[in-house]
Chain A
Amino acid sequence: MEEREKSVRIRIRQKEPNKLSVYMINDDVTTMDFVIMILMEVFFYDYAKAEETMFKVDREGEAYIGTYEAVIAKSKVASVEKRARAAGFPLKCRLEPEKV
């Protein structure tokens, strides 16, 4: 049993450390101020960088925000969407496995 247990354990542990990249997607409803606020409160951007990224989202349709531990990335996205819904905006983010 022990040996088999070990094999189970090893199989699971061999999973790559799981990181996810977060992208923000543009839409025509969400206000620029709200996006800047989100970037500052959830992703801890300073105002200048937040404004720049916001413009990038607007210009290019989406922008890379950052790479985090999977749980954190998902939590941040969930947090973003929760805030957006509360404010009545359809703001969305996209997750992608970490770029190597």
Chain B
Amino acid sequence: MSKDYESLEWMNKQLSKVFHTAIDKLFDRRGQFMTASHLLYEIFSQKSFKKKFEGIVSIEDLKEAADAEFEPTPETVDYQGVELGYDLDQDFQNLYDIYIAIDHEISIDLLFFYYLYTNNDFCCYLSSTFDFFSKLELKELTSTQVSVFMDKLESYGSANEGLFEEDKETPLEDNKDSFSEFLKNFAQLGVHELTYSSDYHFIGRKDELERAIQILCRLDKSNVMFIGESGVGKTAMMRGLLSEFKNNPQVPERLSNCRVVELSIASVLSNSQFQGDLEKNLISMFDVLSAMKNIIVFVDDIHTIVGAGKTDRNSIDASTIIRPYLNSGKVKLIGCTTYEEHKKTLLNNKPFDSCFTKIDIAEPSIDDSVAIIEGIKSRYEKHHNVQYSSEIVRFIVEQTARYINDKCLPSKAVDMLDEVGAKCEIMDHSKNGVTKELIKDTLSKICKVAILSDSDDESEKVENLEERICREVFGQNEAVKGMCDSILMSQAGLQDDDKPMACLLFVGPTGVGKTEAAKVLAKQLGVSFLKYDMSEYSEKHSVSKLIGSPAGYVGYDEGGQLTDAVRKNPHCVLLLDELEKAHSDIYNILLQIMDYATLTDNKGVKVDFRHVILIMTTNAGARFARSANSGFLKSVSAGEAMMSEVKKTFSPEFINRLSAINIFKDMDRDMASLILDKKLRNLENKLVAKNVKLIISSDAHNLLLDKGYSVEYGGRNIERTVNDMLKNLLMKEILFGCLKNGGNANVSVGSDNESLTITNDK
């Protein structure tokens, strides 16, 4: 009657070799049975294993057992050879089954695993099952094989049930030793102590600290959750609490003696390879934690607990395991999370969420941030080998507060401090220290906005603004002056705080420089320029393009074009071109922008418009302006005529909220001449690349002006004339004619007085 395992194919080479050695030795001594002790003794007698498990496995004990189980055949009896002992027979059958199940040869390490789980006596030879366990490897198996293997062991291992459970039952007394023991035991799971360090100065947040201490003193549910945007210093709150425990005599003793451990869910997860490990680890950890008094657990990113270890919809996750401990007040827990994560994960797990009392951590003020950075700057100074003066620190905080909007103080200022330091190091500016130019340079790279002003003083930025704009926008001095006045007014701080910097309506006929004026303004102020052609928003539903589609509709995820753009560039000139072509519903969302400088997008996020210069242009009424001047009695001025039409087009509440209406006047000949010059200058610049020099006679200039000047069509007609009359001609000459190899292009009036000719005198 042979058994399946007898072929021994299930053993790997090493095991089979040891096995045969053991049999041979027994055979020589006429042993009747070979038992597990014999096999194990033989394994641990091997040199490599002797060394590996030195101090863990007691070979003497094993030898004793092996000797006791040695049954020699007397000389008087015929020797029948070595038989497998009752235990080995069973073990080999099981191991053979495992071999079949995992389809992998059984190695000695696997054999050890098997014995750890199934053989109580085996543990007698070990000084520490834990140490022994840690030496074993399952590396050669795939994860599926490992789980099958462990399942099999579980099914055989009922005899040894008590072994691993035993580990966590010993209650720990409330003393230092038990705490350090706890740390030692759970260090593998990513638990470590947070201690107070005297060189850390926590600044501000008195109210939040007081509230947190109050909550921690509660009997039940003494758990705190700090909620705030990333970078506002939630994690730092924990350190603040530590220093408060240490230094504030008013804190009750049971808190001031507290020790704080930080728990990282990621580490717990990474140490839970097998199904059920996570639960086991967490329960044993929290059992110990609740047995010890005066312990506070700190979990950064507490939302990671929700859903950790969840394999399907109905299975238990880490938060469910921990919740009873939190609810009963046995364990005090402090967690941190952001609003977004809180909404996304924690609010879906109401029971867990309700264990916590939430404390909002708002972004610190500029003054507080400066103080915080003053406190920590020495670290960065040391690292980058530079100096940050207090002036520079304040400058960094102010500039980042102004230009970086998707992050929060103080972390964005710290980032900047660090980056500027790094830049300094690379460029070897260290002798001079950090300069404002360097900061501006870095900032403009991050924000993609040219920070032009040489001074941090805003008033200098707008000085001569009018003059500078007039240099590029011709003949509209009055309108430009009006525009600049509105901006200067808000710069001076005379404007309401919760309104956009300026809301301007540019009224005027086509092609007189309304759009151009807005563009130039943005350039001169060094802010970004956002332009929306309102003709694209002429349908009722196009409002959702600007502020995002409602939930459930296509495009919900994309957000609104306007809200997203302004969130990214809060300092900008926002131009809504040809406003009268938009659907009248769009005017309504503009009303609240103009009034409160906020707009709420489809996800409920408020967008700040306080630093926006809102400029809207319209042609409405421009047609009537001209008709006002015709007829016999010039009783109605162009401006009045246009205003009356504007009033018809836009509602009174809209007009009421504008800071100014700037009327751009019709084109006159002087203006046209200036525009023509500008266009010709542009053309000249382009021709330089072709080695062509443009020389235009005054006759030719006049002809272009005559043809191009049109009150009706404005500046664009001049451009068109230049295109038609001059560029066409140049094109032919450059490609095929006399300017093929460059030279001077002398432009003069042709013989018919209607067209231009070009000659090359080179």
Contacts A5-B128, A5-B130, A9-B124 known; A75 to B86 CB distance under 8 Å?
Answer: yes
Residue of A whose beta carbon sits closest to that of B186? A1
Contacts A8-B163, A69-B68, A71-B69 known; A1 to B185 CB distance under 8 Å?
Answer: yes
> What is the CA–CA distance of A9 and B734 in the complex, to the nearest angstrom?
99
Provide the A2-38 mask, 1 if CB < 8 A to any CB of B, else 0: 1111011101110001000000000000000000000
- B74 interface contact, C-beta 8 A: yes
Asked if A13 contacts B124 (CB within 8 A), the reply is yes
In the assembled complex, how far is the CB of residue B257 from the closest CB belonging to chain A, in whole angstroms?
A: 24
In the assembled complex, how far is the CB of residue B457 from the closest CB belonging to chain A, in whole angstroms?
A: 65
Asked if A72 contacts B1 (CB within 8 A), the reply is no
- A74 interface contact, C-beta 8 A: yes
> What is the CA–CA distance of A44 and B36 in the complex, to the nearest angstrom?
22
Residues of B close to A41: CB separation below 8 A: 77-78, 80
Asked if B120 contacts A71 (CB within 8 A), the reply is no
- B682 interface contact, C-beta 8 A: no
| B 94-145 contacts with A by CB, 8 A | 120-121, 123-124, 126-130
Residues of B close to A79: CB separation below 8 A: 33, 83
Residues of B close to A44: CB separation below 8 A: 73-74, 76-77
Asked if A72 contacts B33 (CB within 8 A), the reply is yes
| A 68-100 contacts with B by CB, 8 A | 68-69, 71-72, 74-79, 82, 85-86
Asked if A86 contacts B1 (CB within 8 A), the reply is yes
Provide the B170-184 mask, 1 if CB < 8 A to any CB of A, else 0: 100000000001001
| B 149-189 contacts with A by CB, 8 A | 163, 166-167, 170, 181, 184-185
- A65 interface contact, C-beta 8 A: no
Residues of B close to A4: CB separation below 8 A: 166-167, 170
Asked if A1 contacts B80 (CB within 8 A), the reply is no
Asked if B86 contacts A74 (CB within 8 A), the reply is yes
Residues of A close to B340: CB separation below 8 A: none
Asked if A85 contacts B1 (CB within 8 A), the reply is yes
Contact of A75 among B85, B129, B170 (CB under 8 A): B85
Asked if B76 contacts A9 (CB within 8 A), the reply is no
Residues of B close to A76: CB separation below 8 A: 33
- A52 interface contact, C-beta 8 A: no
> Contact size class for A?
20 to 34
Provide the B55-88 mask, 1 if CB < 8 A to any CB of A, else 0: 0000000000000110101101110100111110
Residues of B close to A8: CB separation below 8 A: 123, 129, 163, 166-167
Residues of B close to A17: CB separation below 8 A: 68
| Interface SS majority for chain B | mixed
Asked if A1 contacts B181 (CB within 8 A), the reply is yes
Residue of B whose beta carbon sits closest to that of A2? B128
- B327 interface contact, C-beta 8 A: no
Residues of B close to A3: CB separation below 8 A: 170
Residues of B close to A78: CB separation below 8 A: 86, 89
Asked if A75 contacts B128 (CB within 8 A), the reply is no
In the assembled complex, how far is the CB of residue A80 from the closest CB belonging to chain B, in whole angstroms?
A: 11
Residues of B close to A68: CB separation below 8 A: 71
Residue of B whose beta carbon sits closest to that of A40? B77
In the assembled complex, how far is the CB of residue A8 from the closest CB belonging to chain B, in whole angstroms?
A: 5
In the assembled complex, how far is the CB of residue B540 from the closest CB belonging to chain A, in whole angstroms?
A: 71
Contacts A4-B170, A5-B130, A12-B120 known; A69 to B86 CB distance under 8 Å?
Answer: no
Residues of A close to B510: CB separation below 8 A: none
Asked if B69 contacts A69 (CB within 8 A), the reply is yes
> What is the CA–CA distance of A4 and B73 in the complex, to the nearest angstrom?
42
Residue of B whose beta carbon sits closest to that of A68? B71
- B617 interface contact, C-beta 8 A: no
> What is the CA–CA distance of A12 and B167 in the complex, to the nearest angstrom?
14
| B 426-446 contacts with A by CB, 8 A | none
Residues of A close to B127: CB separation below 8 A: 5, 9
Provide the A43-78 mask, 1 if CB < 8 A to any CB of B, else 0: 010100000000000000000000011011011111
Asked if A71 contacts B86 (CB within 8 A), the reply is yes
- B35 interface contact, C-beta 8 A: yes
> What is the CA–CA distance of A17 and B163 in the complex, to the nearest angstrom?
20
Residues of B close to A46: CB separation below 8 A: 76
Residues of B close to A42: CB separation below 8 A: 32
Asked if A1 contacts B77 (CB within 8 A), the reply is no
> What is the CA–CA distance of A40 and B181 in the complex, to the nearest angstrom?
58
Residues of B close to A75: CB separation below 8 A: 32-33, 35, 83-87, 89
In the assembled complex, how far is the CB of residue A73 from the closest CB belonging to chain B, in whole angstroms?
A: 8
Asked if B123 contacts A12 (CB within 8 A), the reply is yes
Residues of A close to B74: CB separation below 8 A: 44
Residue of B whose beta carbon sits closest to that of A17? B68
Residue of A whose beta carbon sits closest to that of B132? A5
Residue of A whose beta carbon sits closest to that of B170? A4
> What is the CA–CA distance of A4 and B167 in the complex, to the nearest angstrom?
6
Residue of B whose beta carbon sits closest to that of A13? B124
Residues of B close to A5: CB separation below 8 A: 127-130, 167
> What is the CA–CA distance of A12 and B166 in the complex, to the nearest angstrom?
12
Residues of B close to A9: CB separation below 8 A: 123-124, 126-129
* 11 extra interface residue pairs, beta carbon distance < 8 Å, beyond A72-B71, A75-B87, A76-B33: A4-B167, A4-B170, A5-B130, A8-B123, A42-B32, A44-B74, A44-B76, A44-B77, A71-B36, A74-B85, A78-B89
Q: Can you give 19 A-B contacts (C-beta < 8 A)?
A: A1-B167, A4-B166, A7-B166, A8-B163, A8-B166, A9-B126, A11-B166, A12-B123, A17-B68, A68-B71, A72-B32, A74-B85, A74-B86, A74-B87, A75-B83, A75-B84, A75-B86, A75-B89, A86-B1
